[in-house]
């Protein structure tokens, strides 16, 4: 008697399989709607910062390599004085570098505006502990950069934890950088 | 009227130069290398502008990547090596023709898989209902005996 009752129950459960498949797919599609298709996912997150050997923005500092800057928590900022969002972002970088001396700020500037970049930093302040020029453009390609500004968070082992496209401000810092920093500290 | 048609011709002439711009940027030793450059820059997406390829983009990073592709072609790297170089830095995102991975496999083939599964389930259900339909009418001799016994018991 019990066996006879169990059979149709199983059959009835089977009828829910298409509904379950539909709900799963709808869930994925709904999740897809919340993602911004303009944000290119970085292929470099959780990978080590690429090797490089590049001149400093100031001739007296000489060349910099990956080994010279890795060791502290790094905020690597790709910028150029010709880039307007970089102007907008600049006061925030300046504020953060003063507020949090435990972070090492690395400015990677494009190679087409070195004199203007030096002038820009002289006039408005220099938030960077290291000023590196991406001569020839190999580092920005190795970093998978799409344009300026972009900011990478690199941990003390030289691993890239996060990449942000566009200017950073206090809201972005609070929502994305601070939780990641709390994890690695 | 005359002025506007002259303006039109001027605009068209300027447009044709713009289209040539990206291709004439570099000189190649052989036609084969130039074809490879055209093909690669045509099939890779500009990471900055998203909806145009490297060949047709004015973004600074697209110019950087075109130069990188040019350098690698003249250094003798193969197309596969160049594609691997680009996708390890920019992800599969940069490829207008994505490669077959587990994710793209499910994306491309799940409709066909689901359709086939639906077809088999429908077939099995139809067969099952046909079989049960055949059974409905006649009782086996064993069942007939059981029925007879029940009826006999009831009449007592």
Q: Is residue A43 part of a domain?
A: no
Q: Are residues A14 and A79 in the same domain?
A: no
Confidence of residue B93 (pLDDT cuts 50, 70, 90): confident
Cis peptide before A52 (omega within 30 of 0): no
The residue among A62 and A5 whose pLDDT is bigger is A62
ipTM: 0.78
Q: Is residue A28 part of a domain?
A: yes
pLDDT score, position B24: 62
Mean pLDDT of B36-64: 89
What percentage of residues in chain B have a pLDDT greater than 70?
A: 85
Query: Do A141 and B87 count as a contact with CB atoms less than 8 A apart?
Result: no
Q: Are residues A24 and A98 in the same domain?
A: no
Q: Is residue B19's pLDDT more than 70?
A: no
Among the partner-chain residues A18, A41, A43, the one whose CB lies closest to the CB of B88 is: A43
Q: Is residue A44 part of a domain?
A: no
The candidate with the shortest Cα–Cα distance to A167, out of A110, A84, A75, is A84
Residue pLDDT, tens place only, B57-77: 888 899 999 999 999 999 999
Q: Is residue A13 part of a domain?
A: yes
Q: Are residues A130 and A93 in the same domain?
A: yes
Confidence of residue B103 (pLDDT cuts 50, 70, 90): confident
Residue pLDDT, tens place only, B140-152: 788 888 888 998 8
The residue among B129 and A126 whose pLDDT is bigger is A126
Q: Are residues A91 and A138 in the same domain?
A: yes
**Got the DSSP string for A28-92?**
HHHHHHHS-TTSPPPTTTTSBPPP-EEEBSSGGG-EEEHHHHBTB-EEEEEE-TT-HHHHHHHHH
d(CA B113, CA B82): 34
DSSP structural state of residue B56 = T
From chain A, which residues contact B within 8 Å (Cβ)? 18, 21, 37-38, 40-44, 110, 137, 140-147
Chain B residues closer than 8 Å to A140 by CB: 61, 64
Confidence of residue B78 (pLDDT cuts 50, 70, 90): very high
d(CA A90, CA A113): 17
Q: Is residue A81's pLDDT more than 70?
A: yes
**Got the DSSP string for A114-164?**
HHHHHHHHHHH----SEEEEEGGGHHHHHTT--SSSEEEEE-TTSBEEEEE
Chain A residues closer than 8 Å to B95 by CB: none
Query: Do B87 and A147 count as a contact with CB atoms less than 8 A apart?
Result: no
Q: Is residue A27 part of a domain?
A: yes
pLDDT score, position B5: 77
Q: Is residue B15's pLDDT more than 70?
A: no
Q: Is residue A62 part of a domain?
A: yes
Q: Is residue A116's pLDDT more than 90?
A: yes
Q: Is residue A39 part of a domain?
A: no
Q: What is the number of domains present in chain A?
A: 2
Q: Are residues A59 and A146 in the same domain?
A: yes
Q: Is residue A48 part of a domain?
A: no
pLDDT score, position A91: 96
The parent domain of residue A70 ranges over 53-184
DSSP structural state of residue A106 = E
Q: Is residue B130's pLDDT more than 90?
A: no
From chain B, which residues contact A within 8 Å (Cβ)? 47-48, 50, 59-61, 64-65, 67-68, 87-91, 93, 114, 118
Q: Is residue A94's pLDDT more than 70?
A: yes
pTM above 0.80, yes or no: no
Q: Is residue A157's pLDDT more than 80?
A: yes
- Do A105 and A154 touch, CB atoms closer than 8 A? no
- Do A127 and A135 touch, CB atoms closer than 8 A? no
Q: Are residues A10 and A77 in the same domain?
A: no
Chain A residues closer than 8 Å to B87 by CB: 43
Q: Are residues A6 and A79 in the same domain?
A: no
Q: Are residues A100 and A132 in the same domain?
A: yes
Q: Are residues A146 and A118 in the same domain?
A: yes
Query: Do A144 and B47 count as a contact with CB atoms less than 8 A apart?
Result: yes
B76 three-state secondary structure: coil
Q: Are residues A81 and A144 in the same domain?
A: yes
Q: Are residues A64 and A146 in the same domain?
A: yes
């Amino acid at each position: 008697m019990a066996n006879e009752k169990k059979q149709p129950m199983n059959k009835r459960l089977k009828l829910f399989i298409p509904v379950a498949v539909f709900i799963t797919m709808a869930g994925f599609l709904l999740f897809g709607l919340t993602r911004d298709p303009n944000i290119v996912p970085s292929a470099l997150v959780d990978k080590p910062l690429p090797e490089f050997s590049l001149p400093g923005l100031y001739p007296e500092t000489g060349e910099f390599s990956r080994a010279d800057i890795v060791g502290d928590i790094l905020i690597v900022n790709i910028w150029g004085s010709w880039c307007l969002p970089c102007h907008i972002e600049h006061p925030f970088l300046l504020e953060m570098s003063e507020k949090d001396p435990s972070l090492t700020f690395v400015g990677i500037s494009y190679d087409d505006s070195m004199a203007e970049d030096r002038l820009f930093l002289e006039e408005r302040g220099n938030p960077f502990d290291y000023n590196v020029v991406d001569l020839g453009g190999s580092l920005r390609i190795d970093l998978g950069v799409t344009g300026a500004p972009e900011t990478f968070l690199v941990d003390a082992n030289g691993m890239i934890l996060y990449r942000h496209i566009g200017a950073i401000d206090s809201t972005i810092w609070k929502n994305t950088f601070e939780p990641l920093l709390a994890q690695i500290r | 009227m005359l002025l506007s048609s002259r303006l039109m011709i001027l605009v068209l002439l300027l447009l044709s130069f713009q289209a040539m711009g990206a291709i004439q940027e570099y000189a190649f030793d052989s036609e084969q290398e130039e074809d490879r450059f055209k093909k690669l820059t045509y099939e890779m997406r500009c990471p900055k502008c998203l909806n145009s390829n490297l060949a047709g983009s004015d973004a600074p990073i697209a110019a950087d990547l075109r130069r990188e592709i040019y350098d690698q072609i003249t250094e003798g790297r193969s197309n596969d090596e160049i594609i691997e170089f680009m996708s390890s830095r920019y992800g599969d995102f940069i490829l207008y023709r994505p490669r077959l991975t587990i994710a793209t496999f499910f994306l491309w083939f799940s409709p066909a898989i689901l359709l086939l599964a639906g077809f088999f389930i429908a077939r099995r259900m139809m067969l099952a209902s046909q079989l049960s339909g055949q059974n409905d009418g006649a009782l086996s001799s064993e069942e007939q005996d059981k029925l007879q016994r029940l009826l006999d018991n009831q009449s007592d």
